Amino acid sequence: TVFQRAMEGKEQSTGGLHFVGKKDEMIEAKRSFRTLEGRDILIIYHQGGFYAMDSYCYHAGGMLQNGDIEEIDGKLCIICPNHKYKLSLAKGECIYKGTDPREKPPVPRWYSKGVKQRTHMVTETNGEVYVKLSEDTSWIESDYYQGEKGKVERAKA
Ligand code: FES
């Protein structure tokens, strides 16, 4: 699996920290695509903060680097250009607007589907930016598009 491959790669890297670029260049670029340990990652600079997540949307493999960023219900989210799913930058939660039919009258509110997109840790030291891949061993739906089957499917779309 992708996860096993990621774990194997990790043993060879020092502390799992990957240098991804100079801070000023990463800020200038706003969005940077990197392949780390065989995993395709999107690194985002937005409103003074760095974020990293799997670059293909968990829903159907959409290219998140082309998505707009908006604050929704107090969370910064990237909006997948394909079907407009909203994924929080910090946690990879999928946020959606829904109504509770038991409510009279139903009022639309924001709900979370939980963590669907794998996010990774970004740190900066001395003007350099590093990414450490997520060590969460549970399956997160965006893992699918990092695997062989998912990659083939994405290429067909
Ligand atoms: Fe991202 Fe469908 S592929 S919302």
Q: What is the pLDDT of residues 14-32, one digit of tens each?
A: 579 999 999 999 999 999 9
In 23-144, where do the E strands start and end? 31-36, 39-46, 49-54, 68-72, 75-79, 86-88, 93-98, 109-115, 119-125, 128-132
Q: Please state which of the ranges 1-5, 80-84, 140-144 shows the lowest mean pLDDT.
A: 1-5
Distance of CA 68 from the midpoint of ligand 1 (Å)? 13
Instruction: Give, for ligand 1, the residue of 63, 77, 82 to mutate: max count of ligand atoms closer than 8 Å to Cβ.
Output: 82
pLDDT at 11 (0 to 100): 42
Residue 7, pLDDT > 80, answer: no
Question: What ipTM goes with this model?
Answer: 0.99
| Residue 129 confidence (pLDDT) above 70 | yes
Q: How confident is the model at residue 10 (pLDDT cuts 50, 70, 90)?
A: very low
Nearest atom in ligand 1 to 61's CA? 3
**Residues within 6 Å of ligand 1 by CB:** 57, 59-62, 80, 82-83, 85
Work out which ligand 1 atom sits closest to the CA atom of 85.
4
Mean pLDDT of 110-127: 97
Identify which of 54, 85, 94 to mutate to test ligand 1's pocket (most ligand atoms within 8 A of the CB).
Answer: 85
Residue-wise pLDDT for 34-55, tens only, equals 999 999 999 999 999 999 999 9
Q: Which of 73, 40, 49, 72 is nearest to 155 (CA)?
A: 40
- Encode pLDDT of 59-99 as tens digits: 999 999 999 999 999 999 999 999 999 999 999 999 999 99
Sheet strand arrangement including 128-132: 17-22, 128-132, 119-125, 49-54, 39-46, 31-36
3-state secondary structure of 22: strand
CA of 118 to the centre of ligand 1 (A): 15
Q: What is the CA radius of gyration of the chain?
A: 16
**Average per-residue pLDDT in the chain?**
91
- Tell me how far the alpha carbon of residue 146 lies from the centroid of ligand 1, in angstroms: 15
- State the closest ligand 1 atom to the C-alpha of 80, by its place in the atom list counted from 1: 1
Å from CA of 13 to ligand 1 middle: 32
